[in-house]
Amino acid sequence: MAKSSNPEGKPGVRIVVAGDRGTGKSSLIVTAAAETFPTNVLRLLPPTRLPEDFYPDRVPITIIDTSANPEDRGKLAEELKRADALVLTYACDQPETLNRLSTYWLPELRQLEVKVPVIVVGCKLDLRDDQQQVSLEQVMSPIMQQFREIETCIECSAYKHIQIPEVFYYAQKAVLHPTGPLFDQESQTLKPRCVRALKRIFILCDHDRDGALSDAELNDFQVKCFNAPLQPSEIVGVKRVVQDKMVEGVNERGLTLTGFLFLHALFIEKGRLETTWTVLRKFGYNNDIKLSDDLIPHSSVKRAPDQSVELTNEAIEYLRRIYELFDGDLDNNLRPVEVEDVFSTAPDSPWNDVPYKDAAEKTALGGLSLDAFLSEWALMTLLDPARSLENLIYIGYPGDPSSAIRVTKRRRLDRKKQQSERNVFQCFVFGPANAGKSVLINSFLGRPYSDTYSPTIDDRYAVNVVELPGGIKKTLVLREIPEDGVAKLLSSKDSLAVCDIAVFVHDSSDESSWKRATELLVDVAGHGEDTGYEVPCLIVAAKDDLDSFPTAIQDSTRVSQDMGIEAPIPISSKLSDFNNIFRRIVNAAEHPHLSIPETEAGRSRKQYHRLINRSLMFVSGTLIVWHPTTVSFLMHSELRVLETWFAMVRFSYD
């Protein structure tokens, strides 16, 4: 198989050689570069460059010699941190230098947080006492068990030219074709992320989707990756190797996924890592076994702060088909294992961690309905569009990735139109502790009511589909903001830009809860007025099954009228009486010009601007009818007053 040229386009590999004094570092470098053993060698060599055609990968190598003298320790640490790979030497005729690898050098690398592949090299092989012959594996096995960063070990002799080129070949190979991301040395198995990537590649090459690579598909794969076809006899040979070791690796249709994975494990065990890396890189994977950034259309998700990102109908239809494909028993319940299977061709399942974990409604069997599945995707697209696109690509989205998402109109434009065309709305849920925010969100996800109070520490997300009159469905995202997180949220100018509507929850039986909720409402409304990101607001009077505090009706009426928003909406999670709250939230978000609260400061500011506008119109009209000769009779002081006044008017508009 042909080898890749300059994997990942690396401009060069920097290899640092370190070890105790007198272990043969400089002689090793000179012999590798000049192909002759030096009779005299400098104490510390300058950087040595091997040309790009020195090894088959055609990537130039720069070798850095180092000093082990105490006074050079700072320079040594600096070079170690700049290394792509490290050659760590000991002398075969000095056992104490071997011991120093595990007692000093390898711990020192960890202390410096040098995280690069290490090649352990035993130099001066020709000087080792023949009576102390011990196998390299026997000597190095315990050290390699302790220090997993060791990629390989090799013994050499510069004097006798034994395995000198191999030293730097292995070091270069460890950088260009690292073992770590692909293979677990301890279990001798492919690592999960490698398996996931190879599975995706297998599916992409299985054009007829019959679960096996036919001879024609195998040949197409070979040409794509290695620019050379396989002869029929070679295809037969490949399948025979697999079948001899693993019967299920081949069936009547061709090479199965099991057989495909076995082949790559075999290549790696035989030291042919470049074969698997060539395949991965041909399909766009980087050294982290993730798709390279240039395959993700990041430019398509650029947006203003008050714009959001949603999936297009084309992407949603594709996800519907994916759901049907993996919901094998067609019971509208995608079990957790089936969700994992959906993402089995991605580096990991994106919904295993917050904010996506437990963010959608679960079925009675603990799975996801189609609506919940699409809701999770809507949430991921809203919060992290690039990650959503990336995962669409991983699970096989066939179209142009940029066609899978759309950027919505700016919310300030929606306010002018008095209508929002968004399909996904984000609602911030504010309120004091123990007001009922979490209970409201749990009910949104269909979870049973519980009297147990558990304070929310961090922001929490919940997403579900809300059906409106006429069968129209919108996706609503609730983001619970803990009370002690409000100040931090509002410290950012653009914090409300992503918010379509805010809800303020209070315990209707507790006057202090009501007062704190109104304080939060004023804070949020004021921030919106100051930044230009005003949002519609609703007040929710939770725990309506309890008796209200004495002045509840009077106080709520006053606040609602003063701020120009709807009266509090009473709900009781305990009695499952939600008063159509989620539909009302969506309805308010669809009409972003309504339900905007107005603070006293905001009202005063508007009155001031209206006064200025009327004054400006009056003055402008007066100047139009004045005769130029009349203006010329104005005293100098009067002109100065007019200039100052006009400057103030301009400043207020700027």
- Between the alpha carbon of residue 368 and those of residues 280, 323, 361, 498, the distances in Å are 32, 10, 7, 27
Residue 467 phi/psi, 5-degree rounding, is -90, 125
Residue 462 scores a pLDDT above 60: yes
DSSP strand pairing (250-251 vs 254-256): antiparallel
Q: How confident is the model at residue 300 (pLDDT cuts 50, 70, 90)?
A: low
High-pLDDT (> 90) share of the chain, %: 78
Residue 395 scores a pLDDT above 60: yes
High-pLDDT (> 70) share of the chain, %: 90
- Sign of dihedral through CA atoms 324, 328, 333, 335? negative
In tens, the pLDDT along 539-576 reads 999 999 999 999 988 998 899 999 999 999 999 999 99
Residue 633 scores a pLDDT above 80: no
Residue 641 scores a pLDDT above 70: no
Residue 133 scores a pLDDT above 90: no
Q: How confident is the model at residue 228 (pLDDT cuts 50, 70, 90)?
A: very high
Q: Is 508 strand, coil or helix? A: coil
Span(s) in the chain for CATH 1.10.238.10:
189-293, 309-408
Span(s) in the chain for CATH 3.40.50.300:
13-176, 417-601
The hierarchical CATH code for the domain 189-293 is 1.10.238.10
pLDDT at 602: 77
Residue 22 scores a pLDDT above 70: yes
Q: To the nearest whole number, what is the mean pLDDT of the chain?
A: 90
Q: What is the pTM of this model?
A: 0.83
Which residue, 541, 550, 614, is CA-closest to 571?
541
The hierarchical CATH code for the domain 309-408 is 1.10.238.10
CATH for 13-176, options being 3.40.50.970, 3.40.50.300, 1.25.40.10, 3.40.50.2300? 3.40.50.300
Yes or no: say if 596 and 564 are a contact pair by the CB < 8 Å rule. Answer: yes
Residue 640 scores a pLDDT above 60: no
Mean pLDDT of 624-635: 43
Q: What string of DSSP letters covers 112-149?
A: TT--S-EEEEEE-GGGS-GGG---HHHHHHHHHHH-TT
Regarding predicted confidence, which is higher, 329 or 354?
Answer: 354
Most confident of 182-186, 612-616, 631-635: 182-186
Distance CA 244, CA 226 (A): 25
Residue 50 scores a pLDDT above 60: yes
In tens, the pLDDT along 520-537 reads 999 999 999 999 999 999
Residue 613 scores a pLDDT above 80: no
Which residue, 405, 393, 406, is CA-closest to 350?
393
CATH topology of domain 417-601: Rossmann fold (3.40.50)
Other CB atoms within 10 Å distance of the CB of residue 100: 18
